[in-house]
Amino acid sequence: MNSTGKDGTPTTDLALEAAERLRGERRGDVPGVTVDELTVEGIAVTRVTVTDQGSQNIGKAPGTYVTVEAPELKQRNPTYSQQVSKVIARELERMLPVPRDAEVLVVGLGNWRAIADSLGPRVASKVYVTRHLGQFLPPDLVAGLRPVSSLSPGVLGITGIETTEVVHGVVEHVKPGALVAVDALAAMDVGRIMTTVQIADSGIHPGSGLGTKRLGLTRQTLGIPVVAVGVPTVVHAVTIAANTIDLLVRTMARQVEYMRFMQPMAAINKRDLIQDVLGDVVGNLVVTPKEIDIEIEEMAKVIAGGLNAALHPGIEETEIMDYIR
Amino acid sequence: MNSTGKDGTPTTDLALEAAERLRGERRGDVPGVTVDELTVEGIAVTRVTVTDQGSQNIGKAPGTYVTVEAPELKQRNPTYSQQVSKVIARELERMLPVPRDAEVLVVGLGNWRAIADSLGPRVASKVYVTRHLGQFLPPDLVAGLRPVSSLSPGVLGITGIETTEVVHGVVEHVKPGALVAVDALAAMDVGRIMTTVQIADSGIHPGSGLGTKRLGLTRQTLGIPVVAVGVPTVVHAVTIAANTIDLLVRTMARQVEYMRFMQPMAAINKRDLIQDVLGDVVGNLVVTPKEIDIEIEEMAKVIAGGLNAALHPGIEETEIMDYIR
Amino acid sequence: MNSTGKDGTPTTDLALEAAERLRGERRGDVPGVTVDELTVEGIAVTRVTVTDQGSQNIGKAPGTYVTVEAPELKQRNPTYSQQVSKVIARELERMLPVPRDAEVLVVGLGNWRAIADSLGPRVASKVYVTRHLGQFLPPDLVAGLRPVSSLSPGVLGITGIETTEVVHGVVEHVKPGALVAVDALAAMDVGRIMTTVQIADSGIHPGSGLGTKRLGLTRQTLGIPVVAVGVPTVVHAVTIAANTIDLLVRTMARQVEYMRFMQPMAAINKRDLIQDVLGDVVGNLVVTPKEIDIEIEEMAKVIAGGLNAALHPGIEETEIMDYIR
Amino acid sequence: MNSTGKDGTPTTDLALEAAERLRGERRGDVPGVTVDELTVEGIAVTRVTVTDQGSQNIGKAPGTYVTVEAPELKQRNPTYSQQVSKVIARELERMLPVPRDAEVLVVGLGNWRAIADSLGPRVASKVYVTRHLGQFLPPDLVAGLRPVSSLSPGVLGITGIETTEVVHGVVEHVKPGALVAVDALAAMDVGRIMTTVQIADSGIHPGSGLGTKRLGLTRQTLGIPVVAVGVPTVVHAVTIAANTIDLLVRTMARQVEYMRFMQPMAAINKRDLIQDVLGDVVGNLVVTPKEIDIEIEEMAKVIAGGLNAALHPGIEETEIMDYIR
């Protein structure tokens, strides 16, 4: 999870939300950012393209961000889940410009000891790993299986080592043809928690850090294509508070006759207000579903199913779930 | 966890918070509710007494509610944690009007599959259980150990059985002299998450239910003393939103010259606003610390340490932690 | 798990193994014990019937014991696993002489903190529980779902309470029409670990106990039909040692010309020998597969799938796995 | 875990057991192998030194192997456990020829999904990691804390990547001054399970592998000192069977008058016998305590306590357990 909410402002890891917010504020298009909506297999998919110029505007790295929206995942219907896995698989295949037999390393980012941050390690542990099988592969699959490895490098607080140091070290030894990094995200809209998947080719860019030089996980730094797959598992509490204030102010502005009434509100220090509501631990508070344990495990299966189908051409779409470990 | 936040209003399971809110609203004492503050072993302890009349006012069952506030638990200092366990032990002993050798059943309420609701089962699994040991007890402890048993009955959604049905069935067979029920709570103030412990003699009163008759776990229904131990592990997201609105409105009221400006605000539908911010899943959203996994496990040890010291007179205060399983 | 291996003799919880051993020793049929072999859906099924007389002979309670042998489960082929679930479902249905809509309580026996003993609790947590759903049931299923509840009572060492006390207490309150008890077993043959399922109508008979009166879980004590479902997860280490000795002695007896050579061997104290090999902790040692964690979780799904299909007529055989939680 | 038992012969990862067996067979000293017994803090410690010549004889890499034997760990007395941690700490300090402030990387070898193989990852997750703290260290400890990082690289079957590839990649990036590798071992004597700790400076030498080139983790390959800490968590089932045969044969040899009677036994094919007892899955079967879950977690704390005290000079021996995460 990249965004922290620590500075008391609402944040989102979804390019789509960032683009929509900016379009709302500007009441119009954002230069360098295009948003295309389409439907794949009956499921809403949005493609946000960010140029270098657009990157300055919305604060996301340049690249393509595909957002799969599947609100019915909440109902835990196995047929629907499999459908979502298929859509993820197709978008992943489109983003992975590597030969059919190129080796792929799946990296599960995040902290397996913090439930909301454990999506990456859960997916990494469920992906069908084949790099070591070689001659021992099932004969009917041998042509249809790509060499896949997986790794959950942990987080700085657990290992004392920057995640990217571990990944760079392993990539230099394993020499995969491409990297897929899976991570838990923070959204702005609570409706997106465990229902939205973002697939992007823009790489992973860790926060600016504490004095240590932080390498990103990008095509530039690693020399191979990097696809990031993320799912919002939380909304920062600060976002809820800020959204509440914004909505209240907008509501009142509509109700009062004269906009001059809003003058005093302009003087309200939103940051102080939120600090008053959320206290000193503001950056550490997240909003999650009560049953996050079950929901995150289900989502990890959907993502792993999508990865398996995308990475191994020999796995039929009807048997996506059979190869989840 | 009893309160649900489902009806879109902020709720608290802490009698102290309910009393303070009501005193704030009324700008004065609440009939039938007394609040005494004291300090035990350097730690702030508050005793709220609720009479039958007071019960009508603050919406909590009549009885005594002791609140132990230990904000420094966040720093995970073993000496301080042990100190908190001691204070909990002393308050528990005061609340348990049973002979030294009476059998005690510890019930861990809540859902072990939902991290924020797993405090009860975690404590139940850590308590030093002795009821079955009989002649096999360590000789130097045999006089100092009370027969203790423990049970985590699960929740309706997991077992299909009302928690209270399981507890009543077991109590009828085991026939303990007293019951201690441990549960995760919801607070209104985020600063209380994992830092506050409530100990009460008022019993457990499940929600009004879905047509099924729901027995409570009380001295009346079970025929034995019932002490409830609870720790806030979440604040409902709806509470955060409501607190934000209240604070904003108060702030503005102080800033604007004329109270008539507040007129339009009176017309704001707070419930609709919150619904707009939190969506349809409002009742299902909770605010927790990001690292809830570690914090809830630590708190379970502190509570289990307090229970062990209170229940077994032979366990010295310096070895409280040695008997946690 | 009932058998303990503590007295230094090989033991089995499988009636089929007990019957086969006895037939081998006697070189002929055992009075009161009949063994019928059949094939259901291509899978070997054996039915052992034990009369009161037979019970004295083989040391198993009177009743019918169905053994499903599925060695290919080790290969983790989803289609085959589903086939085994179906066979289990059919045998369970045959054993459960209750009306289509009678309520069933599934009890997961065993210790969830000891991996080899955790099968029962795992199955209980995966069964599709419906007793509490009532009017909230999916409309297309409402006619096809039986009210099912589940409970994992824990073990004496964890709760301080006899398992059977908890179950009796809950049965008196929930009043189900039948009980299904799931438990991990010990076999004599390592080839049966995680590949064999025993389904019996003879009830659960805990060991003779430590002075406390131990009620069984039987039709006699509970007043409702009791079906026990068990899977061998271990072989006691003492069994391996004893089997090794027996085999060596038989091998040598075949090799030496004169039976008188065997005279000295008769004097060998097998129990002392095993004590020398396995030490004081002999009763505490079990033989398991190295990857027991994965194998027991897979087996729990197969059993839960079988229970779901047997208990809920509305669950089609093709969707058995969709209702596992 | 290095030894596999797959070839049907008993194996041990303990140099002490290998040395004792060889001395027994040869009825005398083994050239190049010296065994010194001493007592540290009341606990038996043995030091086995293996020269290049000795290495050929006992099949262990040259180096020093210290064995700490603490059978009373089974009783779970906190004071005794802390004593064992201290002894481990002192032996570790002696083996780690690095400056007080040199950075140390702790690697938890083994498979966290297979309970008996999960010791390494458990210890790695409990060690007090400080490398990333830098200026944020507690002021009273800053001089007493060494920079420590930790990593659990997983196993080939989970990641598709050789463990040693991951470790080499990370060492090249992190550049620690020394490596401590923690691993679960197999012993020959069941009495050693969870009661013995081996500390060695001979490095980690993975099995000969399946065609892939396997680097070891040694001073030669990594360029830094490597200390291996191991605890037996299993005995291979094949070892139990083989020990039983050996003991029986020896017992009989003592009993029969004439050694010529043993002639026929010489013809017994021990390997076939064991295959008959243990079946095709022989290499996959291990003997463990029934409650391995609890025992391995306790042992992980003892080892982590020892590591913390050895690595951080500022951690007093009385507070060893306070820094376990």
In chain C, which residues have their Cβ closer than 8 Å to the Cβ of B304? none
Give per-residue pLDDT as tens, A291-318: 899 999 999 999 999 999 999 988 877 7
Give per-residue pLDDT as tens, B278-303: 776 666 888 999 989 999 999 999 99
Q: How far apart are CA B167 and CA B325, in angstroms?
A: 23
- Chain C: residue whose CA lies nearest to A81: C322
In chain A, which residues have their Cβ closer than 8 Å to the Cβ of D132? 156-157, 160-162
Instruction: List chain C residues with pLDDT less than 70.
Output: 1-9, 135-142, 207-214, 252-268, 280-283
D198's tokens: 């081996």
A265: helix, strand or coil: helix
What local confidence, expressed as pLDDT, does residue B9 receive? 67
Closest-CA distance of chain A to residue D324, Å: 12
Q: List B residues 216-235 in contact with A (Cβ-Cβ < 8 A).
A: 234
- Our CA angle for D75, D81, D85, nearest 5°, is 150
pLDDT of D309 > 50? The answer is yes
CB contact, 8 Å: A289 with chain B? yes
Beta bridge partner(s), residue C68 = C45, C197
A7: helix, strand or coil: coil
Beta bridge partner(s), residue D186 = D234
Q: Do B113 and A248 touch (CB under 8 A)?
A: no
Candidates C77, C322, C323, partner chain A, best to mutate (most A CBs within 10 A)? C322
A299's tokens: 């989502």
Which of D255, D268, D285 faces C251 most closely, judged by CB atoms?
D268
Please choose, from the candidates D281, D270, D223, D276, the residue with its C-alpha nearest in 3D space to the C-alpha of residue D98: D223
The string of DSSP letters for C221-279 reads HHSS-EEEEEEEEEEEHHHHHHHHHHHHHHHHHHHSS-GGGHHHHHT--HHHHHHHHH-
Candidates B6, B185, B272, B288, partner chain A, best to mutate (most A CBs within 10 A)? B288
Q: How far apart are CA B179 and CA D178, in angstroms?
A: 53
In this prediction, residue A173 has a pLDDT band, given cuts at 50, 70 and 90, of very high
Query: Contact, B116 vs A234, CB < 8 A?
Result: no
What local confidence, expressed as pLDDT, does residue B11 receive? 83
Query: Contact, B47 vs B176, CB < 8 A?
Result: no
- Chain C: residue whose CA lies nearest to B104: C160
- Residue C99's CB is within 10 A of a number of other CB atoms, namely 10
What local confidence, expressed as pLDDT, does residue D277 receive? 75
Widest CA span in chain C: 78
What local confidence, expressed as pLDDT, does residue A1 receive? 64
Helix C237-255 / helix C270-278 crossing angle, nearest 10 deg: 130
- If one compares C247 and A172, the residue with the highest pLDDT of the two is A172
What local confidence, expressed as pLDDT, does residue C259 receive? 46
Which of B190, B251, B277 faces A279 most closely, judged by CB atoms?
B190
Query: Contact, C214 vs C43, CB < 8 A?
Result: no
Distances (CA, A) of C251 to A24, C22, D15, D191, D269: 86, 20, 34, 29, 10
Q: What is the dihedral of CA B91, B95, B101, B106, to 10 degrees?
A: -90
What's the per-residue H, E or C state across D167-195?
HHHHHHHHCCCEEEEEEEEEECCHHHCCC
Strands C226-236 and C178-187: parallel
How would you label D60-96 residue by residue, b for 16+ Cβ within 10 Å and e otherwise? Answer: bbbbbbbbbbbeebbeeeeebbbbbbbbbbbbbeebb
Give chain A's domains with CATH numbers. Answer: 15-324 (3.40.50.1450)
Query: Contact, B189 vs B17, CB < 8 A?
Result: yes
Average pLDDT over every residue of A72-88: 90
Which of A115, A249, A278 faces B293 most closely, judged by CB atoms?
A115
Query: Contact, A106 vs A146, CB < 8 A?
Result: no
CB contact, 8 Å: D268 with chain C? yes
In chain B, which residues have their Cβ closer than 8 Å to the Cβ of C131? 160-161
Chain centroid to Cα D194, Å, comes to 11
Average pLDDT over every residue of D10-23: 91
Q: Do D288 and C291 touch (CB under 8 A)?
A: no
- Residue A88's CB is within 10 A of a number of other CB atoms, namely 28
What local confidence, expressed as pLDDT, does residue D212 receive? 44
Strands A43-50 and A33-40: antiparallel
Predicted complex ipTM: 0.88
CB contact, 8 Å: D71 with chain C? no
Helices (H), chain A: 15-26, 52-58, 78-95, 119-126, 156-159, 163-174, 219-222, 237-255, 263-266, 270-278, 292-311
Q: How far apart are CA A295 and CA A270, in angstroms?
A: 33
Q: How far apart are CA D143 and CA C55, in angstroms?
A: 72
- Chain C: residue whose CA lies nearest to A82: C322
Phi and psi at A160, nearest 5°, equal: 80, 5
- Chain C: residue whose CA lies nearest to B149: C160
Q: How far apart are CA D239 and CA D235, in angstroms?
A: 7
Beta bridge partner(s), residue A105 = A149, A179
- For chain C, how big is the Rg over CA atoms in Å? 21
The top-scoring range by mean pLDDT among B208-222, C201-215, D144-158 is D144-158
Q: Do C148 and B160 touch (CB under 8 A)?
A: yes
pLDDT of A265 > 80? The answer is no
Which of A149, A161, A162 faces D160 most closely, judged by CB atoms?
A149
In chain C, which residues have their Cβ closer than 8 Å to the Cβ of D111? 291
Query: Contact, C298 vs C73, CB < 8 A?
Result: yes
CB contact, 8 Å: D25 with chain C? no
Dihedral sign, CA of B16, B17, B23, B27?
positive
Query: Contact, C203 vs C298, CB < 8 A?
Result: no
Which stretch of DSSP H or E encloses residue D69? strand D63-69
Please choose, from the candidates A298, A311, A320, the residue with its C-alpha nearest in 3D space to the C-alpha of residue A74: A298
Q: Which chains would you list as touching C if contact means 3+ CB atom pairs under 8 Å?
A: A, B, D
Q: How far apart are CA B42 and CA B303, in angstroms?
A: 18
Q: How far apart are CA A112 and CA A128, in angstroms?
A: 19
In chain A, which residues have their Cβ closer than 8 Å to the Cβ of C78? 319, 322
pLDDT of B210 > 50? The answer is no
pLDDT of D255 > 80? The answer is no
Mean pLDDT computed over every residue of chain D: 86
pLDDT of D8 > 60? The answer is no
> How many residue contacts between A and D have a Cβ separation below 8 Å?
95
Q: Which residues contact B212 (CB under 8 A, 6 or more apart)?
A: B162
Q: Which chains would you list as touching A if contact means 3+ CB atom pairs under 8 Å?
A: B, C, D
Q: How far apart are CA D306 and CA D197, in angstroms?
A: 11
C71's tokens: 């060695």
What local confidence, expressed as pLDDT, does residue C248 receive? 77
Q: List C residues 290-309 in contact with D (Cβ-Cβ < 8 A).
A: 290-294
Q: List B residues 89-148 in contact with C (Cβ-Cβ < 8 A).
A: 113, 125, 129-134, 147-148
C304's tokens: 């839960």
In chain C, which residues have their Cβ closer than 8 Å to the Cβ of D117? 290
Give per-residue pLDDT as tens, C118-169: 999 999 999 999 998 876 666 666 678 899 999 999 999 899 999 999 999 9
In chain B, which residues have their Cβ closer than 8 Å to the Cβ of C166? 151, 169-170, 173
B213: helix, strand or coil: coil
Candidates C117, C158, C256, C287, partner chain D, best to mutate (most D CBs within 10 A)? C287
- Chain B: residue whose CA lies nearest to C107: B159
Mean pLDDT computed over every residue of chain A: 86
What local confidence, expressed as pLDDT, does residue A218 receive? 94
What local confidence, expressed as pLDDT, does residue C95 receive? 94
Give per-residue pLDDT as tens, B99-158: 888 999 999 999 999 999 999 999 999 999 999 887 666 666 667 889 999 999 999 989
CB contact, 8 Å: A196 with chain D? no
